[in-house]
Structure 1
């Protein structure tokens, strides 16, 4: 019974999931200025990470924190869309959810700065 509610399985499920993921990335890029800004930042920092004279582990960490900020922004955007879908009315819990998503993104950006500073300085 549970599988009937889940939809496709096997390769079809993987292909569908990839399509949903691609649609989510497109929606974020089109509709979220913060996501576009992070993509631009990553377009600068990731190639820079490859040009630096650092070890493989350090390079991986420099890149990972950049990608983590994109992940956090996607989750933050999902939270905002869900809250807005439920109601556009002002509510303390809606504000709290959106503020906490924003705070998560701030922490991710601070992490980028911290990791890059520790490795480069």
Structure 2
């Protein structure tokens, strides 16, 4: 049976792990800001927040909307990660790489539809049914 050697990467523990993870998250956010799609999604979230406040949405409705947008951002981050890995390991065009990228794109699309439907429902209900 083969023995596994220790990882070459030193893992932080305790509070150091928390701060290291926060640093990695900040790096991921900075990388994501380089993506036009993410910047557009941030704009969509900001406009949605302003509209929710303008129509008098409840605090709970606003929180749910922002949680949905956090989901959009998380899925966009995963999609960008998939694209980065595919481009690194398979720079040539391949069906497998295309499918992986298409699936990531579809996941983002689904979250954007969910965000859009929620915004339409809340804003519409406040404008037309109150």
The TM-score with structure 2 as length reference comes to: 0.81
RCO comparison, higher one (Cα < 8 Å, 6+): 2
Partner in structure 2 of residue 97 of structure 1: 100
Partner in structure 2 of residue 110 of structure 1: 113
Could you report, residue by residue, the CA deviation over 1:70-109 in whole angstroms, capped at 9, with x for unpaired residues? 1111111011001111111111111110000000111111
The structure with the greater share of residues assigned to helix is 1
State the structure with more CA Rg.
2
CA distance in structure 2 between the aligned counterparts of 1:82 and 1:89, rounded to whole angstroms: 13
RMSD between aligned alpha carbons? 2.0
Q: Conserved in 2, the CA contact under 8 Å of 1:28 and 1:35?
A: yes
Partner in structure 2 of residue 81 of structure 1: 84
Out of 22, 25, 32, the residue aligned to residue 28 of structure 1 is 32
Q: Conserved in 1, the CA contact under 8 Å of 2:48 and 2:119?
A: no
CA distance in structure 1 between the aligned counterparts of 2:83 and 2:71, rounded to whole angstroms: 18
Paired residues, number: 120
Matches within 5 A, 1:15-94: 15-30=19-34, 32-94=35-97
Could you report, residue by residue, the CA deviation over 1:28-75 in whole angstroms, capped at 9, with x for unpaired residues? 112x11111111222222233233312232222222222221111111
